């Protein structure tokens, strides 16, 4: 049941805790004055891999992962309905990232957890995970999805309603093995959908604004320059939480705006380098198997690649000391 607690400073905090098997979902009130405490969550390996290994993969699995272009398919547990969440990714993608850069028992952080796919994949792979989101609806969605997962594990997955700017108040330094997320893509979704590919078929998203919210703190309301600077500030605050040589992977596309290509991935690479991260890999997520009924764009005078057919997976790490 919900309960209200008063802090020493007189700030009221509403807290709701629901336990589902080994999973706890917690929703806190947000804001600068909200009381935040360190989470009791595991971060140590529970596998028996050699200390020098960065994951539990076999040589065969490692070899497959060396390819720089990846494809994934959706499964029944995935969220596909854009009315529920406008920008989701497959559980199989999240599982791949988690298995590549962590061991069983280690801690995964998703600063923009959205529909909760990272938490579901973490539970599947016996990893502890914490996800944050501004919207209460998405934290509730995380709860629903984890409740439908019958896989039992001692690892815990926690979803918290709060601003990503305050994540460092919840976690101890150098306890996170992987930061993995698909963040809001600047103001890409904060406009009316007018795609020709949607215009001549029955598509409920035509004419809609698919943006997550109009909260001023929402990165999805910001133009690219402001978005990039804010992402830099957030990730600079997260860097001390990541252990040395721990990886940070960000899924982003580029976008077209007023007939200009906005290179979000380049902006983020440059910004995170300034904030202390080192770029290790750029992987292409090939989405051609997920796209159908593509309209024609630019013909015959302006060639434009279909942005929905690929996205970037930007892999950074915290440099070793």
pLDDT along the chain (321 residues), means of 10: 39 39 52 86 97 96 95 90 80 98 99 96 97 94 89 90 96 99 72 50 49 60 90 98 99 87 95 99 96 81 89 98 87
pLDDT (0 to 100) of residue 230: 96
Could you give the CA distance from residue 143 to residue 148 in angstroms, rounded to a whole number? 9
Could you give the CA distance from residue 123 to residue 117 in angstroms, rounded to a whole number? 10
By the 8 A CB rule, do 156 and 127 touch? no
**What domains are there in the chain, each with its CATH number?**
3-46+55-317 (3.40.50.150)
Model's pTM, two decimal places? 0.84
Q: Which residues, other chains included, contact 19 with Cβ-Cβ below 8 Å and sequence gap of 6+?
A: none
pLDDT (0 to 100) of residue 218: 73
The token duo for 18 is: 């629901």
Could you give the CA distance from residue 301 to residue 297 in angstroms, rounded to a whole number? 10
Residue 126, CA distances (Å) to 103, 174, 199 in order:
9, 20, 44
By the 8 A CB rule, do 164 and 95 touch? no
CA nearest 285: which of 315, 247, 263, 316?
315
CB atoms within 10 A of CB 95: 19
User: What does residue 139 show for φ and ψ, rounded to 5 degrees?
Assistant: -65, -40
pLDDT (0 to 100) of residue 174: 99
């Amino acid at each position: 049941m919900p309960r209200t607690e008063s802090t020493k400073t007189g700030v009221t905090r509403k807290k709701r805790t629901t336990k589902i098997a080994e999973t706890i979902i917690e929703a806190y009130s947000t804001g600068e004055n909200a009381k935040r405490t360190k989470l009791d969550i595991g971060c140590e390996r529970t596998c028996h891999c050699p200390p020098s290994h960065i994951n539990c993969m076999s040589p065969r699995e490692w070899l497959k992962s060396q390819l720089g272009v990846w494809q994934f398919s959706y499964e029944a547990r995935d969220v596909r309905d854009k009315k529920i969440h406008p920008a989701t990714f497959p559980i199989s993608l999240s599982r791949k990232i988690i298995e590549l850069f962590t061991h069983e028992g280690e801690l995964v952080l998703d600063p923009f957890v959205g529909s909760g796919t990272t938490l579901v994949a973490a539970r599947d792979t016996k990893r502890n995970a914490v996800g944050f989101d501004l919207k209460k609806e998405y934290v509730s969605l995380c709860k629903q999805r984890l409740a439908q997962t019958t896989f039992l594990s001692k690892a815990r997955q926690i979803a918290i309603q709060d601003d990503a700017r305050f994540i460092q108040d919840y976690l101890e330094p150098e306890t996170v093995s992987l930061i993995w997320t698909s963040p809001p893509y600047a103001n890409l979704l904060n406009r009316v959908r007018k795609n020709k590919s949607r215009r001549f078929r029955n598509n409920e998203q035509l004419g809609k604004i698919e943006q997550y919210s109009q909260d001023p703190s929402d990165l999805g309301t910001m133009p690219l320059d402001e978005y990039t600077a804010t992402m830099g500030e957030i990730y600079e605050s997260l860097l001390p939480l990541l252990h040395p040589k721990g990886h940070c992977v960000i899924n982003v596309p580029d976008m077209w705006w007023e007939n200009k290509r906005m290179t979000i991935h380049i902006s983020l690479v440059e910004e995170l380098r300034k904030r202390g991260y080192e770029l290790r890999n750029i992987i292409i997520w090939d989405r051609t198997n997920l796209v159908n009924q593509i309209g024609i764009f630019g013909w015959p005078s302006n060639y434009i690649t279909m942005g929905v057919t690929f996205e970037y997976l930007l892999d950074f790490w915290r440099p070793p000391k």
